């Protein structure tokens, strides 16, 4: 697609938005229902495309993709009337007689750039907020998941007026062209490296952005836990979608007293989940590309492999892998792993673990397992992360009642539920007055008026 073709798409969307069609709440509701029907009607095709692209089992497709979007839609449909309603606020005495209120307004034409790891959820979940807020939207799915991106484009073209929602496929060159355009808002999900590029381009047009990035999400395990429950939840949170999740456990910090026993139980749960050979399991996904398999393979030259390490590059298979004996300065600890490798670090005192986490960029998620409420509160108080889950993993990302997003290097901005509506709206402040007589106080000449002004303010 050329720059001229992109400009033509945006021109059409700007004209559609300017028509005022999207301001009608009933119209917004109809489009959300249309999105819901589109996803449900294409359920089988979505399962098929994600199986081809990521080897994703149907359970993970529904639980991690479709189900989350459908819940977001239903939540928005129940609440959109309240969210969009002007909110009356107090009026200053100096402004009387008047009324003051805040009106949520759509930005206009917004760009949503989505990644490959959860392409359905991370394309359509922000779309819910954008439509609920009354915007026109251009979607740019990832070219890495070829089948699913093609399906998304096909579904969108059938379901929506292109003035309201359209979809553009393509690689980095198309994404580069898109972010140069003067969108009214950009919502990006992906790596921190690309996020910096998007933000730099957006700054040239003074376009506001939401950046949903990632990071090395720590999981700290205290000595006083139910080891079996903790191990099961950690194994699930790490190896769901073959570890290709921005909220996956990236590394494990276990108290030295229970480290070996915890690893032993995680290994057992991995076998319970996927059998002795995860390659044969219908429930364990595949890496998105052979290049990503190679990248992950380059992280194996440190520590002791407790389980896993098997690779089939052609099949894009990388076994669930646990590496013990990590000190914290190895290559596997440099960047977000984004794959089924779990490095394990031992600690002797919680202060040591907290310092380790605080010395690194702020993660998107942090997990802490402990029975001790005081220690839970301490970790919450002394660390920073986009979200946190205590005695479990990943759940904080899946609720429409909780805002989701990063902090610092893991991103900026929030969405899900009401926060999605707020992300794609700006708050317009309005003061309304009639033509009743004005107080002479505010108009020149100001002689002898300052003392009265002080009393009013």
The mean pLDDT of 362-387, rounded to a whole number, is: 98
pLDDT score of 191 more than 90: yes
Q: Which is nearest to 213 in space by CA: 198, 223, 202? A: 198
Q: Considering the domain boundaries, does residue 392 fall inside one?
A: yes
> Of 373, 397, 421, at which residue does a domain stop?
397
For 112-169, the pLDDT digits (tens) are: 999 999 999 999 999 999 999 999 999 999 999 999 999 999 999 999 999 999 999 9
- pLDDT, tens digit, for every residue of 13-42? 999 999 999 999 999 999 999 999 999 999
Residues 19 and 124 in one domain: yes
8 A C-beta contact, residue 332 and residue 323: yes
* Residue 455 in domain: no
Q: Which residues pair with 186 in a beta bridge?
A: 111, 209
Helix/strand number for the chain, H first, E second: 16, 18
Cα within 13 Å of Cα(144), Cβ side: 18
pLDDT at 104 over 80: yes
Enumerate the active-site residues.
212, 246
- Rounded to a whole number, what is the largest CA-CA distance in the chain? 89
- Matching residue, tokens 């505010």: 442
Residues 199 and 262 in one domain: no
CATH number, domain with residue 185: 3.40.605.10
Length of the chain equals 457
CA–CA distance from 120 to each of 62, 71, 313 (Å)? Answer: 10, 13, 25
Identify whether residues 203 and 306 lie together within a single domain.
no
Task: Using pLDDT thresholds of 50, 70 and 90, give the confidence band for residue 343.
Answer: very high
Q: Please give the sequence-ordered ranges of beta strands (E in DSSP) within 107-164, or none if there are none.
A: 109-113, 136-140
Q: Give yes or no for a contact between 112 and 139, defined as CB atoms under 8 angstroms apart.
A: yes
Phi, psi of 77 (to 5 degrees): -60, -35
Give yes or no: residues 102 and 139 share one domain.
yes
Are the CB atoms for 31 and 131 separated by under 8 Å?
Answer: yes
Tokens of 210: 């939401």
Segment 415-437 shows an average pLDDT of 96
Residues contacting residue 190 through CB under 8 Å, at least 6 positions apart:
113, 115, 212, 213
Average pLDDT, the chain: 96
pLDDT tens digits, one per residue of 250-269:
999 999 999 999 999 999 99
Domain identity same for 294 and 165: no
Instruction: Please give the residue range of the domain that contains residue 110.
Output: 3-213+407-429
> 86 to each of 23, 29, 83, 280, 430, how far by Cα in Å?
13, 18, 8, 56, 10
Look at residue 144 and tell me if it is in a domain.
yes
Give the pLDDT band of residue 94 (cuts 50, 70, 90).
confident
Q: What is the dihedral sign for C-alpha 394, 395, 399, 403?
A: negative
Segment 279-291, tens digit of pLDDT: 999 999 999 999 9
Residue 108 in tokens: 């206009």
DSSP state, 349? S
Assess whether pLDDT exceeds 90 at residue 85: yes
- pLDDT above 70 as % of the chain: 100
Same domain, 109 and 27: yes
CA 292 to chain centre: 21
The H or E element containing residue 330 is none
pLDDT on residue 370: 98
Same domain, 154 and 234: no
* Four-residue CA torsion sign, 93, 95, 97, 103: negative
pLDDT at 438: 85
DSSP 397: G
- Mean per-residue pLDDT for 352-368? 97
Backbone angles phi, psi at 445, to 5 degrees: -75, 150
The answer to whether position 335 is within a domain reads yes
What gap in Å lies between CA 310 and CA 325, rounded to an integer?
A: 19
* Nearest by Cα to 56 from 241, 239, 238, 311: 241
Alpha helices, H only, 226-289: 227-239, 259-274
- Asked if residue 349 and residue 269 are part of one domain, the reply reads yes
Nearest Cα neighbor of 416 from 402, 429, 406 is: 402
Helix axes 146-159, 25-41, angle to 10 degrees: 140
Do 190 and 154 fall into the same domain?
yes
103 burial (CB, 10 Å; 0-12 / 13-18 / 19+) is middle
Identify whether 124 is part of a domain.
yes
The CATH number of the domain where 300 resides is what? 3.40.309.10
Residue 417, in any domain of the structure: yes
**Residue 456 included in any domain:** no
* Residue tagged 């998105």 (tokens): 288
Where a domain ends, among 374, 397, 420?
A: 397
16 shares its domain with 160: yes
- 246 and 127 in one domain? no
Distance CA 187, CA 203 (A): 14
Which pLDDT value is given to residue 452?
87
pLDDT of residue 258: 98
Count of structural domains, the chain? 2
434 within a domain of the structure (yes/no): no
Q: pLDDT digit string (tens) for 35-71?
A: 999 999 999 999 999 999 999 999 999 999 999 999 9
Residues 204 and 223 in one domain: no
């Amino acid at each position: 697609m050329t720059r001229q073709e992109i400009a033509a798409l945006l021109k059409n969307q700007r004209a559609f938005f300017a028509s005022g069609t999207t301001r009608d709440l009933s119209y917004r509701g109809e489009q959300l229902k249309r999105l819901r029907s589109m996803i449900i009607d294409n359920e089988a095709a979505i399962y098929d495309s994600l199986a081809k692209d990521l080897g994703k089992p149907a359970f993970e497709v529904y639980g991690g993709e479709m189900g989350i979007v459908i819940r977001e839609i239903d939540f928005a449909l129940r609440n959109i009337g309240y969210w969009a309603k002007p909110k009356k606020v107090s009026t200053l005495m100096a402004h009387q007689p008047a009324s003051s209120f805040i009106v949520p307004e759509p930005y206009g034409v917004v760009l949503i750039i989505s990644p490959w790891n959860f392409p359905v959820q991370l394309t359509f979940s922000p779309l819910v907020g954008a439509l609920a807020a009354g915007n026109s939207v251009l979607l740019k799915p990832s070219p890495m998941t070829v089948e699913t991106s093609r399906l998304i484009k096909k579904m969108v073209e059938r379901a929506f007026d292109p003035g309201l929602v359209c979809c553009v496929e393509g690689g980095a060159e198309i994404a580069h062209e898109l972010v140069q355009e003067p969108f009214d808002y950009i919502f990006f999900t992906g790596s921190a490296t690309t996020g910096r590029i998007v933000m730099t381009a957006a700054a040239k047009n003074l376009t506001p952005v939401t950046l949903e990035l990632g990071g090395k999400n720590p999981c700290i395990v205290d000595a006083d836990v139910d080891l079996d429950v903790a191990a099961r939840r950690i194994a699930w949170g790490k190896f769901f979608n073959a570890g290709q999740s921005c909220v996956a456990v990236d590394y494990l910090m276990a108290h030295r007293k229970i480290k070996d026993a915890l690893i032993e139980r995680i290994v057992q749960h991995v076998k319970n989940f996927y059998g002795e050979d995860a390659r044969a399991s219908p429930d364990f996904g595949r890496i998105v590309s052979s290049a990503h398999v190679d990248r992950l393979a380059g992280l194996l030259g440190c520590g002791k492999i407790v389980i896993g390490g098997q690779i089939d590059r052609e099949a894009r298979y990388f076994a669930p892998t646990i590496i013990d004996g990590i000190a914290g300065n190895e290559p596997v600890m440099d960047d977000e792993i984004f794959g089924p490798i779990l490095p394990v670090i031992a600690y002797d005192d919680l202060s040591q673990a907290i310092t380790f986490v605080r010395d690194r960029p702020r993660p998107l998620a942090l997990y802490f397992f402990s029975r001790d409420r005081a220690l839970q509160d301490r970790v919450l108080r002394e660390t920073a992360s986009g979200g946190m889950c205590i005695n479990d993993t990943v759940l904080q990302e899946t609720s429409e009642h909780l805002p989701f997003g990063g902090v610092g290097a893991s991103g900026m901005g929030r969405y899900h539920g009401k926060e999605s509506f707020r992300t794609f709206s700006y708050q317009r402040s309005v003061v309304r007055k009639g033509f009743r007589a004005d107080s002479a106080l505010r108009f020149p000449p100001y002689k002898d008026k300052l003392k009265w002004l002080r009393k009013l303010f």
